[in-house]
Amino acid sequence: MKKNKNNNVKIKKDKVLKKNKQEDKELYTKSVLIQIMCAYIVFMFIKEILTHNFLINLYIDSLVGIVAFYIAAHNAFNQYKILNKYKLSLRPFIVMIVTMIVGIFVIIMTLKSPFDISFLILVVGMITNKKIFEKEFILI
């Protein structure tokens, strides 16, 4: 009787752990998506500042850029916490940071160009980040 009770407790504990793991994986994916969208808004704000071509005016665009930066930074922190929680490598996190730096350089280099590939760079970084994360997450 006692062994049966211990097995039931262990099964319930395993189910809770699997559910928490799945929720963290979903949270990480959502966090990456929101971070990409907000990073693109920040990139557009940087481009507006450098070209002095504002969507509404400097103050409104600054407010939107600052809020988007805060949301992107908050989501980066969430990703970092999840990676640390499961003791995973920081490779996906570093990939996102490098992707954002490359995106900023691309925006600066192509200021006068009508083509903008910074969002494409962010999407490629996001896909790479997600694949690295999932490969490591499966192993735990």
Domain boundaries in the chain?
25-138
How many whole angstroms separate alpha carbon 117 and alpha carbon 124?
11
Question: What percent of the chain clears pLDDT 90, i.e. is strictly above it?
Answer: 76
Q: 4-13, 30-39, 50-59, 118-127: lowest mean pLDDT where? A: 4-13
Return the closest-CA partner of residue 79 out of 67, 69, 91, 68: 91
Contacts of 25 (CB under 8 A, 6+ apart): 134, 137
- pTM (2 d.p.): 0.87
Average pLDDT over residues 87-110: 94
DSSP, res 112: S
| Predicted local confidence at residue 1, as pLDDT | 54
**75 near 35, Cβ under 8 Å?**
yes
Summarize the chain as % helix, strand, coil (round to 5). Answer: 85, 0, 15
Which segments of 52-114 does DSSP mark as H helices, in order? 58-85, 91-109
